[in-house]
A and B are shown apart, each in its own frame.
Chain A
């Protein structure tokens, strides 16, 4: 319908963004009626999202004219921003920003590096940055989920953890069930995406490749490649973040610092 009234592509894009945002706002208002308050988070996230993606589009436009190595700096910047964003999901946990950034850098960074070296990801900025950003974004989500789950599990099991400590267990042993549960829970979205690939979910990258003239089978296989890389990056991120955080919630005398109400 919008296309009938708007011919300019940029204006059309803004109008489409407005309609999509309106749909999201209606859901937020419905949630509010049930006393679920998402207003501030949702509005700030949408405003940030549109500004950031337009800025990134503009930067990409500039980078396309520059040397390939500039994409490395761009991806590193994305990892730091991802670390800062997902650290917010680990409120009250010590060193959350540093842990998140390291975990995302280890998880997404190492997968991007190895896959680029192996020729799975093209070194062209137009391929490396969008695919790299997908891995980083998914690693960020996984990291947020893992730390959030780890925090709530530890807080709701302080009795069990301190009982294990009181029986002479190492700090790491006392929280190992919660490290395991957090990793497993954080990887559910990545695993479900792979499991439902092509049945429930036909992601945008494949559509983009088809539009740009790739063979459909290659586009389909590459979509699997991307999701498998996402699983690898997310899995590594989740492992690194929970293991790094595991060591930080105890004092050197193996006392649990993360306590309800503290």
Chain B
């Protein structure tokens, strides 16, 4: 069977990817690919397996079947820490570490013995619209600001692919629009490849090119977002 998206431009490809816990099937035989610079939306109702699928993509969970290829390399051949640096993830809640905004941004690079210069920190902060926030304590940030710091912290690792797990679902309407604009800007300016999990079809239509519709762990529809949602 031909794997959708199995061509040279595909940077991330899931092949027969599945996960079963005890007897419960969380993800079943997922096959899809994401081209470089593309935003793929994974949409489905609560409990349909969207987040489970996303967690398999950076190997936070182990697949029960199949695998994922990152730039053509089976991700089981890549050391997990290196893999997770290359496939960054922004979660629903930002989970900032206690300390300053800069300390959070430095966390990823420090894990591989590198330190960001002050200028790099400011550049990252300006990408998320938080210039001058480096010395702020994360305890004093609003929900939207915290999520933007979370995005900048992930970008500090210079990932090849960005996984976004309902990044705006815990935010109020104003913050949601802010973060969505920010993500659109990053994708447009940096050509970053993204996989966006959301239950918000309107948001998926605004941000994504292709989309997958998932139900009970199975991909039931895939293609351009408009076609998937209009069908």
State the A residues within 8 Å of B (CB): 159-160, 162-170, 173, 251, 253-256, 262
Max count, chain B CB within 10 A of own CB: residue among A159, A164, A166: A166
Q: Does the CB pair A253–B59 fall under 8 Å?
A: yes
Q: Which of B21, B95, B153 contacts A159 (CB 8 A)?
A: B95
Give the CA-CA distance A249 to B59 in the complex, in Å.
16
CA of A31 to CA of B27 in the docked complex: distance in angstroms?
A: 46
Contacts of B59 in A (CB 8 A): 253, 255
Residue pair B97, A170 in contact (C-beta under 8 Å): no
B23: shortest Cβ distance to chain A, in Å? 14
- A159 to nearest B CB, angstroms? 5
B84: A residues at CB distance < 8 A = 165-168
**23 pairs of residues in contact across A and B, judged by CB atoms under 8 Å:** A159-B91, A159-B95, A160-B95, A160-B97, A162-B60, A162-B91, A163-B91, A164-B107, A165-B80, A166-B91, A167-B108, A167-B111, A167-B153, A167-B154, A168-B82, A168-B85, A169-B81, A169-B107, A251-B62, A253-B59, A255-B59, A255-B62, A262-B21
Q: Chain B: interface residue count, which band?
A: 20 to 34
Cβ contacts under 8 Å, A159 to chain B: 91, 93, 95
**Given A168-B82, A170-B111, A255-B60, is A163 in contact with B95 using a C-beta cutoff of 8 Å?**
yes
Complex contact B81–A170 (CB within 8 A):
yes
Task: Determine if A173 and B93 form an interchain contact, defined as CB atoms under 8 angstroms apart.
Answer: no
One of B21, B60, B97, B112 near A168 (C-beta < 8 A): B112
In the complex, what residue of chain B is closest to A167 when comparing beta carbons? B108
Identify which of B80, B93, B157 contacts A253 (C-beta below 8 A): B80
The B101-122 residues at the A interface (CB cut-off 8 A) are 107-108, 111-112
Chain B residues positioned under 8 Å from A167 (CB to CB): 84-85, 88, 107-108, 111, 153-154, 157
**B61 within 8 Å of A by Cβ?**
yes
Residues on B close to A: CB < 8 A?
21, 58-62, 80-82, 84-85, 88-89, 91, 93, 95, 97, 107-108, 111-112, 153-154, 157
Q: Which residues of B contact A170 (CB under 8 A)?
A: 81, 111
**How far is the CB of B56 from the nearest CB of chain A, in Å?**
10
CA A33 – CA B19 in complex, angstroms?
46
A168-B111 Cα distance, complex, nearest whole Å: 6
11 further interface pairs, Cβ-Cβ under 8 Å (given A160-B97, A162-B60, A165-B84)? A159-B93, A160-B95, A164-B97, A166-B84, A167-B111, A168-B82, A169-B111, A253-B62, A254-B80, A255-B60, A255-B80
Q: How far is the CB of B144 from chain A (nearest CB, A)?
A: 18
Nearest residue (CB) in B for A160 is B95
Q: A166-B88, A170-B111 are in contact. Are A254 and B81 (CB under 8 A)?
A: yes
- The residues of B that contact A164 with a CB separation of less than 8 Å are 97, 107
A166 to B61, CA, bound (A): 11
Q: Is the CB of A168 within 8 A of B91?
A: no
Cα separation A253 to B84 with both chains bound (whole Å): 11
Residue with the highest number of chain B CB atoms closer than 10 Å, among A163, A167, A173, A262: A167
Which of B60, B62, B82, B93 contacts A165, CB < 8 Å? B60
State the CA gap A254–B111 with chains docked (Å).
14
**Assembled-state Cα–Cα distance A256/B95 (Å):** 16
B95→A173 contact, CB < 8 A: no
**Cβ contacts under 8 Å, A163 to chain B:** 91, 95
Give bound CA distance, A168 to B97, whole Å: 14
Closest CB in chain A relative to B119 CB, distance in Å: 21
B95 lies within 8 A of A168 (CB) = no
